[in-house]
Amino acid sequence: MISGTIGLGLLTDSGKVLSIAGPWGGILAFSTVGICVACIMQGVSEMINYWPISNALVEFVSSFVDKDLGAIVGFAYW
C-alpha cells in the first residue's frame, strides 16, 4: 500500500509538484505524505495485533467510527 500511494503520486504528479514547489518543496511534500502513510499503516497493524478478526477493515470502521460508514467501506472494498 505504501509503494502504491507514494509511487503513483511520484509518477503522475511529480512535474506539477516540482513546478509549484520547487525541488525542496517536492521532497518535503513526498516525505510528509510518506511519513503519514507509514504512521497510518503502523496504527492499522497495531489494531490488527490487538484485535485479530477477519474482515478487519470493515469491522474497525464499524466499531470505532460508524456502522453506516462501515457498510459503505465494505461495499467500496468489495
DSSP the chain: -HHHHHHHHHHHHHHHHHHHHHHHHHHHHHHHHHHHHHHHHHHHHHHHHHS--SSHHHHHHHHHT-HHHHHHHHHHH-
* pLDDT for residue 10: 63
* pLDDT for residue 66: 92
Output the tens digit of pLDDT for each of the chain's 78 residues.
Answer: 555 655 666 667 677 777 888 888 878 887 898 899 899 889 888 988 988 888 888 888 898 899 999 899 889 888
What residues does each domain of the chain span? 2-77
